[in-house]
Amino acid sequence: MKITSVETIAVSLPMRRPHLSAVQAAERVFIILRLHTDAGLVGLGEATVLKEWGGPHMTYYGESYKTVALVVSAYLAPALVGEDPSQFQVLHKKMDRAIKGYPYAKAALDIACYDAVGKALGVPASTLLGGLVRRRIPITHSIGIMPPEKAAAEAQEAVGEGIATIKLKVGLDPRRDLETVRQVRKAVGPEIAITVDVNQGYPSPREAVRILQEMLEHNILFAEQPVEGIDAMAEVSRELSLPLMHDESAWTAQDVLRIIKLRAGDIISLYTTKPGGLWPAHQMAAVVEAGGLAANVNGSGETGVGNAANLHLAGSAGAVRHACVIPITSLEGKGPTKIAARVYLDDIIREPFKYEEGCLLVPEGPGLGISLDEEKLAKYRVAV
């Protein structure tokens, strides 16, 4: 089987509510990619882009949907046409020679290759990643920055729909952060896990330690990226008993090695996008596990295409031991939840993923295990 052509489509789904964070990302337009083959099979991929977000100190850069469309058409597709989509390692080397960086664009092609090859072999993408270590993926409900009483009410509703972990976006106002944690803990009770995601919002390790120490009395499970950079995270880690998760500072396996060496944290936030696709994400997860750290899969509000990739990664990576921050995909008038992890009011896939007792189930069909709704794709298409 050979790759014959690549097609990109920009889409924007209606959101259930704004999801505010210390990053203040404004644009929610993603790229859906179709990878065509000479076998007549089409692989689906997604670039869940965030142009306002990136790594610490400008080490990694966000991408926009227009950036991805250009990079794919001008550089990546020409490098891969005529290649065998099952040769994942070779394809990544070819993409890296064609253009350095742009992991979101490369992730879309990588995911589409896994979908096409899985369809050709009649096996799920997770089988191509080594097989499932878990089929049920516990889901975290993420709450953006909002008034504490509204956050508490939403958390309570999500728990009522089966969620066992609540993530709170913080980092703009320490007093509001503390009050939000206090009210959410009171609303959900002692058994529900609460995490906080600062998105590098605290200005110094000393300030981060002071604020997080106060949060400890409300029994938070861990704090995600309170400060910018691995060195600053290591300072916080030395002063706190609270586990720390790296997100903005963990994009590659090499980043994970440095975090382990400096004892700068305990948990790594895995994405399909940051390292450039399922192949490098799985390599990254292996380093996490070998280093004695844990991980979750922490997406960016993917559509059903990207979320299928999230589920295959979460199900096949042994290091994933924490609830994952990915959407519970819902269609207009049809979905397993009304509030819990529901990012969008509709989607572009035909069926939502199965949801049971706070967990999404990894799709069992070949490739990603999904199919596109062409009418919805046309409805939510955006001009590039």
Q: pLDDT tens for residues 83-106?
A: 999 999 999 999 999 999 999 999
What percent of the chain clears pLDDT 70, i.e. is strictly above it? 99
175-203 pLDDT tens trace: 999 999 999 999 999 999 999 999 999 99
Contact 161, 337 (CB under 8 A): yes
pLDDT > 90? residue 236: yes
> How many Cβ atoms sit within 10 Å of the Cβ of residue 378?
11
Contact 63, 4 (CB under 8 A): no
> How high is the mean pLDDT of the chain?
96
- Write down the number of H helices and E strands in the chain: 13, 14
Q: How far is C-alpha 5 from the geometric centre of its chain's CA atoms?
A: 27
CA dist 158 and 99 (Å) reads 42
pLDDT > 80? residue 21: no
pTM (2 decimals)? 0.96
Beta strands in the chain (DSSP E): 3-11, 30-37, 42-47, 136-138, 140-143, 165-169, 193-197, 223-224, 244-246, 267-270, 294-297, 355-356, 359-361, 381-382
CA dist 99 and 14 (Å) reads 33
CA-nearest of 321, 327, 313 to 363 is 313
Residue 19: predicted pLDDT: 74
292-328 pLDDT tens trace: 999 999 989 999 999 999 999 999 999 999 999 999 9
Contact 198, 215 (CB under 8 A): no
What domains does the chain contain, in order, with CATH numbers? 3-122+373-382 (3.30.390.10), 128-361 (3.20.20.120)
Token readout for 6 is 């690549």
pLDDT > 80? residue 23: no
CA dist 2 and 317 (Å) reads 28
